[in-house]
């Protein structure tokens, strides 16, 4: 019988399903989850303030359990991958991610969905840029940097296979 991982890192592009999966796993496994964007930014009404992500991230990594999700694979997050028991790489189809970006923006504009950032048209357009960048650069970079963790990387193009893994 396999034991459930206690430290999980979920990585994927904008619109890949990271936050939704993190919320579901957090609830199912009773493990707190953290968004890397909120590690980098202190969110408030007068505007986002960039923090020293290392200090806050290190305090999370020292916890016994965590789920961390985000698009980042730069050096400042390398300890997340090193300490994780399981790394989930969401390789959701590019067109599905693009569709989700559009739907998310429309829901935010209609106030049907709350965001951690001000959902401006400028941010909306950047999401397409970030999505393309992840597809062309971020994905390759992740596997080049972190292939040493292949034994704990689970690649999935949909969250159903991840849910099966935990059942």
**Percent with pLDDT over 70 in the chain:** 90
Q: How far apart, in Å, do the first and last CA atoms of the chain sit?
A: 12
Q: d(Cα 5, Cα 99) in Å, to the nearest integer?
A: 31
Stretch 150-155: mean pLDDT: 94
33-35 β-sheet, strand order: 33-35, 66-70, 7-12, 86-90, 153-156
For residue 130 the two structure tokens come to 């970030």
91 neighbors 156 (Cβ within 8 angstroms)? yes
> In a 10 Å sphere around its CB, with 0-12 CB exposed, 13-18 middle and 19+ buried, how is residue 55 labelled?
exposed
Longest CA pairwise span in the chain (Å) = 50
When computed from its CA atoms, the radius of gyration of the chain, rounded to whole angstroms, is: 16
Task: Average the pLDDT over each of 9-13, 30-34, 45-49, 73-77 and give the range with the smallest value.
Answer: 45-49
User: What pLDDT is attached to residue 1?
Assistant: 41
3-class state of residue 163 by DSSP: helix
pLDDT digit string, tens, across residues 94-150: 999 999 999 999 999 998 988 877 888 998 999 999 999 999 999 999 999 999 999
- Distance in angstroms (rounded) separating the CA atoms of residues 114 and 39: 18
Is the Cβ–Cβ distance between 116 and 47 less than 8 Å?
Answer: no
Q: What's the pLDDT at 133?
A: 95
d(CA 2, CA 124): 41
Asked if residue 2 has pLDDT above 70, the reply is: no
CB atoms closer than 10 angstroms to residue 150: 10
Set out the domains of the chain in order of their start, with CATH numbers.
7-161 (3.40.50.300)
- Residue 74 — very low, low, confident or very high, per pLDDT cuts 50/70/90? confident
14-21 average pLDDT score: 93
């Amino acid at each position: 019988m396999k034991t459930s991982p206690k430290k999980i890192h979920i990585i994927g592009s904008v619109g890949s399903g990271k936050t939704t999966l993190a919320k579901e796993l957090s609830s199912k496994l009773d493990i707190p989850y953290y968004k890397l964007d909120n590690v980098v930014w202190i969110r408030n009404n007068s505007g986002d303030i960039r923090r020293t992500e290392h200090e806050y991230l290190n305090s999370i990594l020292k916890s016994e359990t965590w789920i961390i999700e985000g698009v980042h694979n730069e050096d400042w997050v390398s300890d997340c991958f090193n300490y994780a028991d399981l790394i989930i790489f969401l390789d959701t189809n590019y067109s599905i991610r693009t569709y989700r970006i559009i739907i998310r923006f429309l829901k935010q504009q209609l106030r049907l969905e709350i965001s951690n950032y001000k959902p401006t048209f400028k941010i909306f357009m950047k999401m397409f840029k970030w999505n393309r960048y992840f597809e062309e650069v971020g994905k390759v970079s992740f596997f080049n940097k972190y292939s040493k963790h292949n034994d704990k990387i689970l690649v999935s193009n949909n969250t159903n296979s991840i849910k099966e893994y935990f059942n």
